[in-house]
Amino acid sequence: MPRVARAPYRRLLPLAMLCLGAAPAPPRRVVSLNLCADQYLLALADRGQVAALTRFSRDPLLSAGAGAARAMPVSGGGAEEVLALDPDLVLAAPGQPAARVGALSGRHPQLIELPPADSYAAILGQVRTVAVAVGHSARGEALVARMNAALAALPPPRRHGVAAYYQRRGYVTGAGTLVDELMRRVGLVNLATRLGRPALSQLTLEQLVAARPDYLIVESASDRTADQGTEMLHHPVLAGIPRLRLPQAWTVCGGPAYVLAAQSLTRQLASRATRR
């Protein structure tokens, strides 16, 4: 679950409000230092609350919210730049040095550290954590309800065979990852998990062909050879293995895009099943 580092607010709440149990005012300036946190802020915060997203938030290859992020301020994420933004809430990855602005300046913004989500349940937990932190818990519950309803509307998964999430330089994603759970949700067996591979490892072309997967799951952008890292995805020995395509931006982070990935894989598998 996300870790919340609590520090004194810069303005003390009136004693009467504390006695009445009133909730603190929502943060006015929120800074994200985490690409995955960007997705939650875009979905849950008011536009005026966002002091800065990461510079990657506008990259359509990495960010599922790139379109919405174009109108938002961004930062390079350095500690001095974060201090200049004067945030009262910072969202970061665990242990991110620039997030420790309180220790550097004597200021004490609230800090929430969001580790990579490794399951759908973890995504829902992070939605709720961020929604409460930005003062929009009802908005978070509404998002959770929409995501749950969209997944519940998918047809019951049927067995579709074995798939390898095969990426640049031969990396595969194994057990204990969000991609592994996503594959199981749509009825696929993860080749890396079957082979006992860890969360991230490499398979040579020879190893992959010998394992005989039914599908390769590849990034949508890998249809063109961008560099030596993606060149191996176009090797002739892989030509006979059907491909399922997902934007990297839907899998690099947990968040609402998990639902889009599940819907897309379900459609692609159904389409291939009807052609058999």
Q: How do the domains of the chain map onto residue ranges?
A: 3-150, 161-275
Query: pLDDT, tens digit, for every residue of 55-87?
Result: 999 999 999 999 999 999 999 988 888 888 999
Give the per-residue pLDDT at 6.
44
Give the per-residue pLDDT at 164.
96
Say whether 55 sits in a helix, a strand or coil: helix
Give the C-alpha separation, 178 to 170, whole Å: 19
Domains 3-150 and 161-275 share a fold: yes
Tally helices (H) and strands (E) across the chain: 12, 12
Q: Is 55 exposed, middle or buried (0-12, 13-18, 19+ CB in 10 A)?
A: middle
Name the residue with tokens 């985490």: 34
Give the per-residue pLDDT at 7.
41
Could you please state the CATH topology (level 3) that the domain comprising 3-150 is classified under: Rossmann fold (3.40.50)
Alpha-helical segments (H) within the chain: 15-20, 35-44, 66-69, 79-85, 101-105, 120-133, 137-152, 178-185, 191-194, 205-211, 228-231, 257-275
Give the C-alpha separation, 113 to 95, whole Å: 8
**DSSP assignment, residue 166?**
B
Cα 262 to Cα 144, 218, 259, 265, 266, distances in angstroms? 15, 14, 5, 5, 6
H or E segment and range at residue 113 = strand 110-113
CATH class of the domain defined by 161-275: alpha beta
CA nearest neighbour of 183 among 142, 213, 203 = 213
What are 141's two structure tokens? 């519950």
Query: pLDDT, tens digit, for every residue of 231-253?
Result: 888 899 999 999 999 999 999 99
Give the C-alpha separation, 35 to 60, whole Å: 12
Q: How confident is the model at residue 224 (pLDDT cuts 50, 70, 90)?
A: low
CA nearest neighbour of 28 among 84, 109, 82 = 109
Does the pLDDT of residue 23 top 80, yes or no? no
Give the C-alpha separation, 202 to 65, whole Å: 29
Give the C-alpha separation, 42 to 56, whole Å: 13
Q: How confident is the model at residue 104 (pLDDT cuts 50, 70, 90)?
A: low
Give the per-residue pLDDT at 15.
39
Does the pLDDT of residue 165 top 90, yes or no? yes
Instruction: Report the DSSP beta bridge partners of residue 3.
Output: 113
Give the per-residue pLDDT at 19.
44
